[in-house]
A and B are shown apart, each in its own frame.
Chain A
């Protein structure tokens, strides 16, 4: 069993021995301070990045007067770059055995990009900055999730990820509100916003550098024997041929291909309902609020009921969201129900996927495994959004939603079967 990845903080076993039920003779949940701090780092960083993201379109077109369509093209390239560096950063984290250093590099790069916002004028400068920010995000994610894994009690892994994702999403929901608050007070106050955003990024990086210990992952034996110089940057796909992990990647990729971007769901909601048009900016914030509320409960459920089951069930919530969006309903209730389902989908899949990947990966490949799962999901979702754009125009928004929903209804049991077989393999291995 690889589940015993590490137990650095489990020294105080049975600190609350009052549990009398023998079936529940597990250690009590103890939140690792490392995870709390990683959550706070993510919260500050997300306030920093989401505050800028929320107003970037306004800034670029309304304020700088740059071509909006060009930005859309480069946006796609940035997303691709971010997805690919994830797996590379995970691999680098495993190679060094010190994920914190890699995570710090990622957070640091995003922080430096924020400095650039203060001086950027032209389109290319802005593109470089946004790309730097996205690559920083790509770099930090897998090593950070590896740190969470090695700091968490293994039997409460998903719940610990839930705590982290909750804090993370407090930042993601608060950032846009902060941005709109600043622009409400100072209508052209973009430079003020960039300064405030930088301040939050600096605090996040400082908290990571100063308070998160430089935990080691993987085998303590140092570099693998037989490593030849010059082979340092050779990535071996065999790393990913872990029993179970390959099946997780397959299932996650399959489901990812049927996960269209939130932007499309928001557009469908707007299409039928002037309420959603009026409150468009709140749709994004609302989804994040639901995500943060449900992150811990669904993490606990994943620990008890099974991470794979919760991960797949999250896609059932997504399926219901599609159907509800496609249904000829309107008004506040239907829109809110869609947001709840979408938030539940993220809460059931985001942290749980990282927990699942780390459970299925041996310790010396931990960050690579997590990064691989996240890369697969990111790339398959990008493909899904591109494909859905075509469906949208050929079939119309509602029909397109129903078609994707129908495919998802087939993919969900298929993914469950794939993952079950993976779990069985894992236990035999």
Chain B
């Protein structure tokens, strides 16, 4: 490289660097401005700030309406789901609750992004909080508010690290010892213990009136089971195949869940209902792929979140009758993570 061409190359590099950085910088500045504008704008829906949980029955959810209050936990009366939202000042990725307390899984963004679970009382004051080992995925609370389950995605921090797995545990809201990672429970399939290394547990659902039993999803070696768990015996017993993210109906007779009819890599999840007594499966007519843990509005209607097409970070809560011929309809617009509090 001659000195002349060397200088020329230097100048070209300088020009490229300046142009590229200026381009990326202005893109970032515009995106930041647009974000600021959207967050300070009035909310797309009617909102008010709520100092405490309303009287039951109500629906608790994550507000995803663009504008002020985006991402905050909110409530609407059960009879008026499209009505004014009472928003807390707590931002949650996932939220679930009872008439007395609320669990909120959140991402604390910063130079060090971390994740935590916060337990709030009915005045939205934090009672306790604990760090989560990954991105919030699912959470549930038992109807008496004594048990909280959390599922997170544990990730490596580059694509070179250990890949994805889930971490699911059950905690006691009175501060007592929880289960720790449910992967440590004995997984029993057809009477035999599964000891394979790649066991994953996710999507716990509690049973009304039983403080020991829960249902969850267990997976190993490409197979997926609905498991019935016992906190005291530290066991997970497989009772059905292909059930993901179960949700027990209020009357305790059925489990609603998502069922993958695609491939493990390109999943398409249908909503299905399992009758626990007979083992009969009913697949619903919802055509979209549903990646959520179903919530029962009552013994006949299911709720679930669906991301909005073309609207980043926005979603809606839909409802569908627990009937193979039923069609879905909107329940709460611009919302996510429904929790029905009776």
Residue from B137, B160, B164 having most chain A Cβ neighbours under 10 A: B160
Which listed residue, A76, A78, A203, touches B16 by the CB 8 Å rule?
Answer: A203
Which residues of chain A are near B111, meaning CB under 8 Å? 177, 180-181, 184
Check if A140 is an interface residue, CB within 8 A of chain B.
Answer: no
In the complex, the answer to whether B153 meets A393 with C-beta atoms within 8 Å is: no
Which single residue of chain B is at the shortest CB-CB distance from A186? Answer: B35
In the complex, the answer to whether A53 meets B158 with C-beta atoms within 8 Å is: yes
In the complex, the answer to whether A124 meets B200 with C-beta atoms within 8 Å is: no
Check if B196 is an interface residue, CB within 8 A of chain A.
Answer: yes
In the complex, the answer to whether B161 meets A195 with C-beta atoms within 8 Å is: no
In the complex, the answer to whether B312 meets A277 with C-beta atoms within 8 Å is: no
Which single residue of chain A is at the shortest CB-CB distance from B21? Answer: A199
Contacts A124-B266, A185-B32, A278-B131: A213 and B1 contacting too (C-beta < 8 A)?
A: yes
In the complex, the answer to whether A195 meets B264 with C-beta atoms within 8 Å is: no
In the complex, the answer to whether B161 meets A71 with C-beta atoms within 8 Å is: no
In the complex, the answer to whether B157 meets A186 with C-beta atoms within 8 Å is: no
Q: For the complex formed, measure the closest distance between the CB of B140 and the CB atoms of chain A, giving whole angstroms.
A: 19
In the complex, the answer to whether B109 meets A267 with C-beta atoms within 8 Å is: no
Which single residue of chain B is at the shortest CB-CB distance from A282? Answer: B112
Contacts A196-B24, A199-B20: A277 and B131 contacting too (C-beta < 8 A)?
A: yes
Which residues of chain B are near A61, meaning CB under 8 Å? 135, 137, 153, 164
Cα of A86 to Cα of B247 in the assembled complex, Å:
48
In the complex, the answer to whether A261 meets B162 with C-beta atoms within 8 Å is: yes
In the complex, the answer to whether A54 meets B158 with C-beta atoms within 8 Å is: yes
Which listed residue, B109, B132, B155, B219, touches A183 by the CB 8 Å rule?
Answer: B109
Chain A residues numbered 157-189 whose CB sits less than 8 Å from any CB in chain B: 176-177, 180-189
Question: Which segment of A62-70, A316-324, A407-415 sits at the interface?
Answer: A62-70
Q: Is the interface of A mostly helix, strand, loop or mixed?
A: helix
Q: For the complex formed, measure the closest distance between the CB of B156 and the CB atoms of chain A, giving whole angstroms.
A: 4
Question: Which segment of B7-15, B170-178, B279-287, B326-334 sits at the interface?
Answer: B7-15
Check if B265 is an interface residue, CB within 8 A of chain A.
Answer: yes
Chain A residues numbered 183-230 whose CB sits less than 8 Å from any CB in chain B: 183-189, 191-192, 195-196, 198-199, 202-203, 206-207, 210-211, 213
In the complex, the answer to whether A394 meets B112 with C-beta atoms within 8 Å is: no
Q: Tally inter-chain residue pairs, CB-CB below 8 A.
A: 188
Which listed residue, A187, A202, A284, A389, touches B158 by the CB 8 Å rule?
Answer: A284
Check if A270 is an interface residue, CB within 8 A of chain B.
Answer: yes
In the complex, the answer to whether A53 meets B132 with C-beta atoms within 8 Å is: no
Cα of A202 to Cα of B24 in the assembled complex, Å:
11
In the complex, the answer to whether A192 meets B31 with C-beta atoms within 8 Å is: yes
Contacts A188-B313, A203-B17: A62 and B264 contacting too (C-beta < 8 A)?
A: no
Which residues of chain B are near A186, meaning CB under 8 Å? 28, 31-32, 35
By a beta-carbon cutoff of 8 Å, the part of chain B in contact with chain A is 1, 9-10, 12-13, 16-17, 20-21, 23-24, 27-28, 31-32, 35, 71, 93, 107, 109-114, 116, 130-135, 137, 153-166, 183, 195-200, 219, 264-267, 291, 307, 312-313
Known pairs A186-B32, A279-B114 / 10 extra A-B pairs, C-beta < 8 Å:
A57-B135, A71-B163, A180-B113, A184-B111, A186-B35, A187-B35, A261-B156, A261-B161, A392-B197, A393-B195
Ordered nearest first, which 3 A-B pairs have the shortest CB separation? A263-B162, A72-B163, A199-B24
30 residue pairs bridging A and B, Cβ less than 8 Å apart: A50-B158, A54-B158, A61-B135, A69-B264, A71-B164, A72-B163, A73-B163, A75-B159, A75-B163, A79-B159, A181-B111, A183-B113, A186-B31, A186-B35, A188-B313, A192-B31, A195-B24, A195-B28, A196-B27, A202-B16, A203-B20, A203-B21, A213-B1, A261-B161, A263-B156, A274-B130, A279-B114, A281-B112, A283-B157, A385-B162
